[in-house]
Structure 1
Amino acid sequence: MTVSESAAEAELEVEAELLAGLESGVTTAGAPEERFDVEAPFRGTKIGDLPACGPDDVEVAFERARQGQEAWERRSVAERAEVFKRYHDLVIENCEELLDIVQLESGKARRHAYEEVLDVAMTARHYAYRAEDYLESEEREGALPGLTETEVHHHPVGVVGMITPWNYPLSLAVSDAIPALLAGNSVVIKPAEQTSYTALKAIELLREAGLPRDVFRVVTGHGKVIGEPLVAESDFVCFTGSTETGRIVASQAGEHLTKCSMELGGKNPGIVCDDADVDRAVEGLIRGCFTNAGQLCISIERLYVHEDVYGQFVEAFVDAIEGLHVGAGYDHDVDVGSLISEEQLEKVTDHVEEAKAQGATVLTGGTARPDLGPYFYEPTVLTDVDESMTLCANETFGPVVAVYEWSDEDDVIERANDSDYGLNASIWTEDHERGREMATQIETGTVNVNEGYAAAWASLDAPMGGMKNSGIGRRHGDEGIMKYTESQTVSVQKHLGMTNPPGVPHWLYAKLMNKTLKIQRHIPGMR
Structure 2
Amino acid sequence: MTTRTTAPSRPLPDLAALAALATGTGPALEVTSPSDGRPLGVVRQAHEGEVAGAVRAAREAQKGWAARPARERAAVAHRFARLVLDRRDEILDLVQAETGKARIAALEEVLDASRTAAYYGHAAPGLLRARGRLGALPLLTKTTELRHPKGVVGVITPWNYPFTLPASDTVPALLAGNAVLIKPDEKTPFSALLTLALLREAGLPERAAQVVVGPREVTGPAVVDAVDFVMFTGSTATGRKVAARCGERLVGFSAELGGKNPLIVLGDADVPAAAAGAARTCFANAGQLCIGPERIYIHEAVRERFTSLFLDEVSRLQVGPGTSWETQVGSLASPAQVAKVRSHVDDAVAKGARILAGGAARPELGPNFFAPTVLADVPETAVLCREETFGPVVALYPVASEEEAFARANDTGYGLSASLWTAPARGRKLGARIEAGSVNVNEGYAAAWGSHSAGMGGWKESGMGRRHGPEGLLKYTESQTVAVQRVPIAPSGRMSAEQFADLVTAGVRIMNRFF
Count of residue pairs the alignment pairs up = 510
Deviation at 1:211, TM superposition (A): 0.6
CA distance in 2, matches of 1:239, 1:146: 44
CA distance in 2, matches of 1:282, 1:161: 40
Q: Is the 8 A contact 1:18 1:101 kept in 2?
A: no
User: Are 1:287 and 2:283 counterparts?
Assistant: no
Which residue of 2 is the match for residue 487 of structure 1? 479
User: Are 1:467 and 2:459 counterparts?
Assistant: yes
Which residue of 2 is the match for residue 499 of structure 1? 490
User: Are 1:19 and 2:21 counterparts?
Assistant: no
Q: 2:159 aligned to 139, 158, 166, which one?
A: 166
TM-score of the superposed pair, with normalisation by structure 2:
0.97
Q: Which residue identity lines up with residue 457 of structure 1 in the other structure?
A: W
Q: Is the 8 A contact 1:160 1:237 kept in 2?
A: yes
Deviation at 1:50, TM superposition (A): 1.6
Aligned to 2:389, the other structure's residue is in SS state coil
Aligned to 2:404, the other structure's residue is in SS state helix
Q: 1:193 aligned to 186, 193, 207, which one?
A: 186
Which residue of 1 is the match for residue 204 of structure 2? 211
Aligned to 1:223, the other structure's residue is in SS state coil
Which residue of 1 is the match for residue 436 of structure 2? 444
Q: Which residue identity lines up with residue 24 of structure 1 in the other structure?
A: A
After superposition, the C-alpha distances for 1:46-78 in whole angstroms (9 at most, x for unaligned) are 222221221011012111111110110110011
After superposition, the C-alpha distances for 1:154-174 in whole angstroms (9 at most, x for unaligned) are 000000011100000011011
| 1:7-46 paired onto structure 2 within 5 Å | 14-15=11-12, 18-28=14-24, 31-32=25-26, 34-46=27-39
CA distance in 1, matches of 2:112, 2:10: 29
Q: Is the 8 A contact 2:16 2:42 kept in 1?
A: no
Q: Is the 8 A contact 2:150 2:178 kept in 1?
A: yes
The structure-2 alpha-carbon separation of the partners of 1:152 and 1:24, relative to structure 1 and needing over 3 Å to count, comes to: same
CA distance in 2, matches of 1:279, 1:12: 35
| 1:375-394 paired onto structure 2 within 5 Å | 375-394=368-387
Q: Is the 8 A contact 2:172 2:473 kept in 1?
A: yes
Q: 2:291 aligned to 276, 288, 298, which one?
A: 298
Deviation at 1:12, TM superposition (A): 11
Give the unaligned 5+ runs of structure 1: 1-6
Q: Is the 8 A contact 2:299 2:402 kept in 1?
A: no
Q: Which residue identity lines up with residue 103 of structure 1 in the other structure?
A: Q
Q: Which runs of 4+ in 1 moved over 3 A?
A: none
Deviation at 1:123, TM superposition (A): 0.7
Which residue of 2 is the match for residue 4 of structure 1? none
Q: Which residue identity lines up with residue 110 of structure 2 in the other structure?
A: V
Which residue of 2 is the match for residue 3 of structure 1? none
Aligned to 1:336, the other structure's residue is in SS state coil
CA distance in 2, matches of 1:520, 1:260: 37
Which residue of 2 is the match for residue 515 of structure 1? 506
CA distance in 2, matches of 1:215, 1:417: 42
Q: Is the 8 A contact 1:156 1:183 kept in 2?
A: yes
Q: 1:73 aligned to 58, 66, 88, which one?
A: 66
Q: Is the 8 A contact 1:39 1:46 kept in 2?
A: yes
| 1:314-333 paired onto structure 2 within 5 Å | 314-333=307-326
After superposition, the C-alpha distances for 1:328-353 in whole angstroms (9 at most, x for unaligned) are 01121101000000000000000001
After superposition, the C-alpha distances for 1:407-426 in whole angstroms (9 at most, x for unaligned) are 22222211111101000001
CA distance in 1, matches of 2:316, 2:120: 39
Deviation at 1:502, TM superposition (A): 2.1
| 1:150-299 paired onto structure 2 within 5 Å | 150-299=143-292
Q: Which residue identity lines up with residue 496 of structure 2 in the other structure?
A: P
Deviation at 1:114, TM superposition (A): 0.5
Which residue of 1 is the match for residue 343 of structure 2? 350
Which residue of 1 is the match for residue 3 of structure 2? none
User: Are 1:414 and 2:413 counterparts?
Assistant: no
Q: Which residue identity lines up with residue 492 of structure 2 in the other structure?
A: P
Q: Is the 8 A contact 1:119 1:171 kept in 2?
A: yes
Which segment drifts farther, 41-50 or 265-274?
Answer: 41-50
CA distance in 2, matches of 1:257, 1:293: 38
Q: Which residue identity lines up with residue 277 of structure 1 in the other structure?
A: D
Q: Which residue identity lines up with residue 119 of structure 2 in the other structure?
A: H
Q: Is the 8 A contact 2:342 2:360 kept in 1?
A: yes
Deviation at 1:129, TM superposition (A): 1.1
After superposition, the C-alpha distances for 1:61-98 in whole angstroms (9 at most, x for unaligned) are 11111111011011001111111111111111111010
CA distance in 2, matches of 1:362, 1:502: 86
CA distance in 2, matches of 1:308, 1:166: 40
Q: Is the 8 A contact 1:326 1:335 kept in 2?
A: yes
CA distance in 1, matches of 2:413, 2:512: 43
Q: Which residue identity lines up with residue 186 of structure 2 in the other structure?
A: E
Q: Is the 8 A contact 1:18 1:97 kept in 2?
A: no
CA distance in 1, matches of 2:353, 2:10: 46
CA distance in 2, matches of 1:53, 1:135: 34
Give the unaligned 5+ runs of structure 2: 1-5
Deviation at 1:520, TM superposition (A): 2.7
After superposition, the C-alpha distances for 1:382-419 in whole angstroms (9 at most, x for unaligned) are 11012100000000000000111112222221111110
Deviation at 1:512, TM superposition (A): 2.1
User: Are 1:91 and 2:87 counterparts?
Assistant: no
Deviation at 1:257, TM superposition (A): 0.6
Deviation at 1:241, TM superposition (A): 0.4
Which residue of 2 is the match for residue 141 of structure 1? 134
Aligned to 2:318, the other structure's residue is in SS state coil
CA distance in 2, matches of 1:156, 1:287: 40
Deviation at 1:444, TM superposition (A): 0.6
After superposition, the C-alpha distances for 1:453-483 in whole angstroms (9 at most, x for unaligned) are 0100110110000011000100011000000
CA distance in 1, matches of 2:512, 2:117: 44
Deviation at 1:501, TM superposition (A): 1.8
Deviation at 1:228, TM superposition (A): 1.2
CA distance in 1, matches of 2:9, 2:56: 37
After superposition, the C-alpha distances for 1:282-325 in whole angstroms (9 at most, x for unaligned) are 12112221110000000000100111111000000001101111
Q: Is the 8 A contact 2:95 2:163 kept in 1?
A: yes
Deviation at 1:194, TM superposition (A): 0.8
CA distance in 2, matches of 1:289, 1:301: 7
Q: Which residue identity lines up with residue 176 of structure 2 in the other structure?
A: A
CA distance in 1, matches of 2:511, 2:326: 66
Aligned to 1:500, the other structure's residue is in SS state coil
Aligned to 1:415, the other structure's residue is in SS state helix
Deviation at 1:273, TM superposition (A): 0.6
CA distance in 1, matches of 2:274, 2:385: 22
Which residue of 2 is the match for residue 435 of structure 1? 427
